[in-house]
A and B are shown apart, each in its own frame.
Chain A
Amino acid sequence: MVWLQYVLDAIGTGALYALMTLGLALVFSVMGLMNFAYGQLIMIGGFTMIMLRDQPWFVLIAGTILAVVLVSVLMERLAFRPVRHASAMTMLITSFALAQFLQQAARVAFGANPKPLKQFDGLSKQYELGSLRISTMSIVTLVVTIIVLVSLALLLRRTNIGIQLRASTEDVEMAALVGIKSNRVIAAAFVISGTIAAIVAMLFFSSRTNVSWSSGESIVLIAFVGSVIGGLGSMVGAALGGFLMGFVYTMLNALLPMELRVFADAFLYLLVIVVLLIRPAGLVAAKGVRV
Chain B
Amino acid sequence: MSLLELRGVRIAYGQAIAVQGLDLHLDEGEFVSLIGHNGVGKSSTVKAISGLVKPTAGTITFDGQEIQGHDPGATLRLGVAVVPEGRHIFTRLTVRENLTVGATVRKDRAEVTASYEEMVGRFPVLGKYSERMAGLLSGGEQQQLAIARALMSKPKLLLLDEPSLGLAPQIVDQVFELLVELRGQGTTILLVEQNAAQAIRVSDRYYLMRTGGVIEAQGQGGENADVASIGSAYLHMGKD
Residues in chain A within 8 A of chain B (CB atoms): 160, 163-164, 166-167, 170-171, 173-181, 287
Task: Please tell me which one of the listed residues A160, A166, A176, A179 contacts residue B90 in the complex, with CB atoms under 8 A apart.
Answer: A166
15 additional contacts, CB 8 Å, given A177-B84, A179-B76?
A160-B100, A163-B100, A164-B101, A166-B93, A167-B93, A170-B93, A171-B90, A175-B101, A176-B71, A177-B50, A177-B52, A178-B105, A180-B104, A181-B73, A287-B92
B101–A178 CB distance below 8 A: yes
| A and B contact pairs by CB, cutoff 8 A, 27 listed | A163-B101, A164-B101, A166-B90, A166-B93, A167-B90, A167-B93, A167-B101, A170-B90, A170-B93, A173-B52, A174-B88, A175-B101, A176-B73, A177-B50, A177-B72, A177-B76, A177-B84, A177-B88, A178-B101, A178-B102, A179-B72, A179-B73, A179-B104, A179-B105, A180-B104, A287-B91, A287-B92
Give the Cβ gap from B90 to chain A, nearest Cβ, in Å.
Answer: 5
Judge whether B153 is part of the interface by a CB distance below 8 angstroms: yes
B93–A163 CB distance below 8 A: yes
B52–A176 CB distance below 8 A: yes
Give the Cβ gap from A87 to chain B, nearest Cβ, in Å.
Answer: 16
B77–A174 CB distance below 8 A: no
Q: Which residues of B are found within 8 Å of A167, using beta-carbon distances?
A: 90, 93, 97, 101
Interchain CA distance A171-B92 in the complex, whole Å: 10
Interchain CA distance A180-B149 in the complex, whole Å: 13
Interchain CA distance A133-B97 in the complex, whole Å: 45
Residues of B70-92 at the interface with A, using a CB-CB cut-off of 8 Å, are 71-73, 76-77, 82, 84, 88, 90-92
Task: Please tell me which one of the listed residues A170, A171, A178 contacts residue B149 in the complex, with CB atoms under 8 A apart.
Answer: A178
Most buried by A among B73, B93, B101, B149: B101
Q: Which residues of A are found within 8 Å of B93, using beta-carbon distances?
A: 163, 166-167, 170
Give the Cβ gap from B238 to chain A, nearest Cβ, in Å.
Answer: 29
> Which 5 pairs show the lowest CB-CB distances between chains A and B?
A179-B105, A174-B88, A179-B73, A179-B104, A176-B72
Q: Which residues of A are found within 8 Å of B97, using beta-carbon distances?
A: 163, 166-167
Task: Please tell me which one of the listed residues A160, A166, A180 contacts residue B73 in the complex, with CB atoms under 8 A apart.
Answer: A180
Q: Which residues of A are found within 8 Å of B104, using beta-carbon distances?
A: 160, 164, 178-180
A180–B90 CB distance below 8 A: no
Chain B contact patch, size range: 20 to 34
Q: With A163-B100, A163-B101, A164-B104 given, is the CB distance from A179 to B91 under 8 Å? A: no
**Interface of chain A, helix or strand or loop or mixed?**
helix
Closest to B106 in A: A179
Q: Which residues of B are found within 8 Å of A166, using beta-carbon distances?
A: 90, 92-93, 97
Interchain CA distance A81-B84 in the complex, whole Å: 27
Q: Which residues of B are found within 8 Å of A179, using beta-carbon distances?
A: 72-73, 76-77, 104-105, 153
Interchain CA distance A170-B93 in the complex, whole Å: 9
Q: Which residues of A are found within 8 Å of B91, using beta-carbon distances?
A: 170, 287
Give the Cβ gap from A235 to chain B, nearest Cβ, in Å.
Answer: 10
Q: With A170-B93, A287-B91 given, is the CB distance from A177 to B82 under 8 Å? A: yes
Give the Cβ gap from B45 to chain A, nearest Cβ, in Å.
Answer: 15
Residues of B23-63 at the interface with A, using a CB-CB cut-off of 8 Å, are 50, 52
Give the Cβ gap from A71 to chain B, nearest Cβ, in Å.
Answer: 29
Closest to B89 in A: A174
Interchain CA distance A171-B87 in the complex, whole Å: 12
Q: Which residues of B are found within 8 Å of A178, using beta-carbon distances?
A: 76, 101-102, 104-105, 149, 153
Give the Cβ gap from A101 to chain B, nearest Cβ, in Å.
Answer: 31
Most buried by B among A163, A164, A179: A179
Interchain CA distance A72-B72 in the complex, whole Å: 28
Most buried by B among A166, A175, A178, A287: A178
Interchain CA distance A181-B74 in the complex, whole Å: 10
Give the Cβ gap from A233 to chain B, nearest Cβ, in Å.
Answer: 11
Q: Which residues of A are found within 8 Å of B73, using beta-carbon distances?
A: 176, 179-181
Give the Cβ gap from A174 to chain B, nearest Cβ, in Å.
Answer: 4
Q: With A160-B100, A179-B104 given, is the CB distance from A174 to B76 under 8 Å? A: no
Interchain CA distance A173-B82 in the complex, whole Å: 12
Closest to B83 in A: A177
Most buried by B among A167, A177, A179: A177
Q: Which residues of B are found within 8 Å of A170, using beta-carbon distances?
A: 90-93
Residues of B99-151 at the interface with A, using a CB-CB cut-off of 8 Å, are 100-102, 104-105, 149
Q: Which residues of B are found within 8 Å of A160, using beta-carbon distances?
A: 100, 104
Interchain CA distance A162-B52 in the complex, whole Å: 24
Q: Which residues of B are found within 8 Å of A176, using beta-carbon distances?
A: 52, 71-73
Closest to B159 in A: A177
